[in-house]
Amino acid sequence: MRLSIRTDRRPKASRIGTAAAALVLTGAAVGAVFALTQEEQGGWPRGIIVPEGEIMVYQPQPDSLAGDRVRARAAVAVTPTGSDEAAFGTVWFVSRLATDRDNRTAEVGETKVLRVGFPNATEEQKESLSRILEREIPNWELEISMDRLLTSLELAETRRLAAENLKDDPPKIIISYEPAILVTIEGEPRLQDIEGADGLMRIINTPFNIVFDKNGRRYYLYAGEKQWYGAPDWKGPWALTSSVPSQIAALAPVEQEAEAKAIQDSVDAQVAAAAAEAGEEVEEEEVGPPPSLIVATEPTELIYIKGQPEYTPISDADLLYVDNSESEIVTDLGSARIFVLLSGRWYSAESLDGPWVYVPGDQLPEGFAKIPVESDKAYLLASVPGTEQAKDAVMDSQIPQTSTISRSDAKLEVEYDGDPKFEPIEDTDGLELAVNTPNQVIKVKDKYYAIDEAVWFVADSPTGPWTVADEIPAEIYTIPPSSSAYNTTYVYVYDSTPEVVYVGYYPGYTNSYVYGGTVVYGTGWYYPAWYGIHYYPRVATWGFGVHWNPWTGWGFGFSYGWGPFRFGIGFGGWWRGGWWGPRRYRGYRRGYRRGARAGYRAGYRAGNRAAHRNNIYNRGGNAARNAPRTRPATAQQPRAAAGRDNNVFSDRNGDVYRRNNDGNWDRNTRDGWNRSDGVSNDARQQRDRAAQQPRTQQRSTGSQMERSYNSRQRGTTRTNNYNASRSRSGGGRSRGGGRRR
């Protein structure tokens, strides 16, 4: 049933009977609070018709988010059957969140009503109706857009998961004016025989496919689509070659390359669709000479500029940016200094030749915060502290990805290279970390804790048997960024039952950290790999062209080439907890003008969805671990109310306000909506509430409501953009493990 509310009705809050009061807290009421279906794309307010009348619930306003528990309030309007008069009130509640970053949704369950504020409803009635709500709420599909949630949480008292003691030392920055690819090797090359390939070895401490032919004394690097480079030495010089031994050609990672190509084609299609919608053109991929290969054995970033820099002004910002580069290169006209953005960090120099120094975000020139939102460089605002884009990125980092793990289905086996070997974790009280395994295994006193794809396990022995952990020692959360296990401090166990364990992780687990008022990638620390019979790399901050996208987080690339050169990485399966941590990102970027910049425009203007999955709980073996959710069938769901503005709010005291088209606010009282002609909103509130509230509260109410309104508007825009992109690109809802069903 779709509820259509007559817009000529003039709600009042004069009188409400017992039957109407009972309506406020039925399961229908709070079901309406969070009901959000894909077809309706999140319209608010939500309404439902029940035998006793009509209930209208406006978009909830979160008060706090701690772990997977959200406390919120919502304004409610109830119109009894046979009446044209609606009564307004407020409901406060606490719920468990089950989030899914793949679909950017938050599903609500286990809701408990804390209290209600409603005219003429007795305390006895409130308690009785709360019990009804707790019984009824599982009958409803309770879901809210994550983008609505994060913009609302900007005003909430959230736990700030800001990182400290990250390293800001600049990597080696190489500027190339010719097509080039950065080939990263961790220190001096380490060669290992390739099983089943006589006379062939591979360099194991690189994510690239580099093979050494012992008989021909020559190195080969796979460049995609059956293209190979050859060199007499691993340092180079490298050149495209058509003469490749058949035994080496057979090593090409065809299956992985096909998967990567499908990913890139999907991204290209979304970028093109977003550009077409914005009336822009995406330049065709150029075909030119093969890019040169630059080998780096230390933390390095490559910045490619197509020829000499071509500068374009950014309106109203006193900034110029290099237009013929996919890297972020900005010149401040006031200081005449050059700024580059690498892994979310700003570095500055007097010229492109360096030397480069780290610049904290709050010390950037004023022009950075003035970049217009319609500019091609608007995405840089996410890396400028204090901007709305930076606030949204920070708030997104405060929302955990959650899941419910089945104890019986969750399995773990830890692989060691030889006998387990542990080393102390500096600056902790006796913690030790296993170094000869790709897993993260931490010894705490006489217990062992291992983390696998954002799920904690515990055992009495370093080799198991492993079971899902019910709780995690507090000492683990003292691990500093100097340890490669630092990202585990962003994974939590929230609750448990004999059958399931409620878990969650923050983006810090995938190496995205809140730092200096923005989000950055990586800790900046170097973590040495393990070398033995096997090679286990650790997560790296530099060398992979990391860029931020507002909906999908961090993406990776390797500078830019042309035509068929894709440079797919790794045929040894190293992305299992390796160079990129648990994300297992296997992509690449290609084509000048078809990479980061086009993707960013699509991301910020149309909610472009990245090709990789953001929700670790939706992947592979983890999907099997997730406990299915059963929900009772229901005959009716709340629907978006046609013709009703989402302009009603509740303050922390439970007073209900309405924002008019003229930008002023009315407060709902026993006598209806309180308004005074010719009196400003703030003055009216001070007059009406002077006898009841302290002056500081009088002054703050208007600005509090205005901030709530602005946050709601931003959330609506983000949600609509994201849903439009999903619809345009044909992206259906994944039904993975992150969703509790």
The pLDDT of residue 21: 39
Nearest Cα to 87, choosing from 652, 665, 671, 708? 671
List, in order, residues 6 or more apart from 408 with CB less than 8 Å away.
499
Strand stretches in 226-299, DSSP E: 227-231, 239-241, 292-296
Residue 429: inside a domain, yes or no?
yes
List, in order, residues 6 or more apart from 265 with CB less than 8 Å away.
none
Nearest Cα to 63, choosing from 162, 161, 160, 154? 154
Residue 171, burial from CB neighbour count under 10 angstroms (0-12, 13-18, 19+): buried
**SS3 labels along 128-168:** HHHHHHHHHHHHCCCEEEHHHHHHHHCCCCCCCCECCCCCC
Task: Round to whole Å and give the CA distance between 57 and 34.
Answer: 9
Query: Which portions of the chain are predicted below pLDDT 50?
Result: 1-41, 129, 155, 157-159, 559-562, 570-577, 583-612, 676-685, 687-699, 728-741
Task: Round to whole Å and give the CA distance between 707 and 571.
Answer: 51
Residue at which a domain ends, from 498, 514, 532: 498
Q: Does the bond joining 45 to the residue before it have cis omega, within 30 degrees of 0? A: yes
Residue 53: inside a domain, yes or no?
yes
Residue 525: inside a domain, yes or no?
no
Adjacency order of strands within the sheet including 218-224: 191-193, 200-203, 210-213, 218-224, 227-231, 239-241
- CB crowding 76-97: b at 16 or more within 10 Å, else e: bbbbbeebebbbbbbbbbbbbb
The answer to whether residues 93 and 69 touch, using CB atoms and an 8 Å cutoff, is: no
Residue 236, burial from CB neighbour count under 10 angstroms (0-12, 13-18, 19+): middle
Q: How many CA atoms lie within 13 A of 395 on its CB side?
A: 25
Could you tell me the two tokens for 263?
Answer: 């990913």
Nearest Cα to 397, choosing from 490, 492, 503? 490
Residue 357: inside a domain, yes or no?
no
CA distance to 84, 396, 659, 689, per residue, from 674 (Å): 19, 37, 12, 11
Task: Round to whole Å and give the CA distance between 107 and 626.
Answer: 15
Q: How many CA atoms lie within 13 A of 159 on its CB side?
A: 12
Nearest Cα to 455, choosing from 678, 271, 619? 619
Could you tell me the two tokens for 150?
Answer: 């994060």
The pLDDT of residue 340: 97
Could you tell me the two tokens for 347?
Answer: 């570095």
The answer to whether residues 507 and 583 touch, using CB atoms and an 8 Å cutoff, is: no
Q: How many domains does the chain have?
A: 2
Tell me the sheet residues that pair with 444: 447
Residue at which a domain ends, from 468, 498, 528: 498
The pLDDT of residue 108: 74
The pLDDT of residue 47: 77
Task: Round to whole Å and give the CA distance between 277 and 266.
Answer: 17
Phi then psi for 399, rounded to 5 degrees? -100, 120
Return the CA Rg of the chain. Answer: 28
The amino acid present at 199, given as its one-letter code, is G
Task: Round to whole Å and give the CA distance between 78 and 70.
Answer: 24
Residue 120: inside a domain, yes or no?
yes
Task: State the residue range of the domain holding 478.
Answer: 409-498
Could you tell me the two tokens for 542?
Answer: 């530099």
The pLDDT of residue 300: 95
The amino acid present at 307, given as its one-letter code, is G
Task: Round to whole Å and give the CA distance between 320 and 315.
Answer: 9
DSSP class per residue in 354-413:
---EEE-GGGS-GGGGG--TTSTTGGGGGGSTTSHHHHHHHHHTTSPEEEEEETTT----
Residue 9: inside a domain, yes or no?
no
The answer to whether residues 200 and 212 touch, using CB atoms and an 8 Å cutoff, is: yes
Task: Round to whole Å and give the CA distance between 400 and 158.
Answer: 12
Tell me the sheet residues that pair with 212: 201, 219
Could you tell me the two tokens for 446?
Answer: 């006489």
List, in order, residues 6 or more apart from 124 with CB less than 8 Å away.
none
Task: Round to whole Å and give the CA distance between 393 and 701.
Answer: 26
Residue 234: inside a domain, yes or no?
no
The amino acid present at 129, given as its one-letter code, is L
The answer to whether residues 256 and 209 touch, using CB atoms and an 8 Å cutoff, is: no
Residue 421, burial from CB neighbour count under 10 angstroms (0-12, 13-18, 19+): middle
**Residues 298, 303, 307, 309, Cα dihedral to 10°:** -130
Residue at which a domain ends, from 480, 498, 516: 498
Task: Round to whole Å and give the CA distance between 669 and 653.
Answer: 13
Residue owning tokens 């987080």: 553
The pLDDT of residue 441: 97
454 Rama class: left (phi>0) / alpha (psi -120 to 50) / beta: left
Tell me the sheet residues that pair with 100: 105
pTM of the complete model? 0.80
Residue owning tokens 């669709």: 273
Could you tell me the two tokens for 496?
Answer: 């448990």
Tell me how far apart the terminal alpha carbons of the chain are, to the nearest angstrom: 23
Residue owning tokens 């180079």: 236
The answer to whether residues 191 and 204 touch, using CB atoms and an 8 Å cutoff, is: yes
Residue 308, burial from CB neighbour count under 10 angstroms (0-12, 13-18, 19+): exposed
Could you tell me the two tokens for 255?
Answer: 């299956």
Nearest Cα to 567, choosing from 191, 224, 109, 148? 224
The amino acid present at 532, given as its one-letter code, is G
Nearest Cα to 523, choosing from 507, 539, 543? 539
Residue 258: inside a domain, yes or no?
no
**SS3 labels along 176-210:** ECCCEEEEECCCCCCEEECCCCCCEEEECCCCCCE
Chain centroid offset of residue 541 CA: 18
Chain centroid offset of residue 488 CA: 17
The pLDDT of residue 631: 55
The pLDDT of residue 464: 87
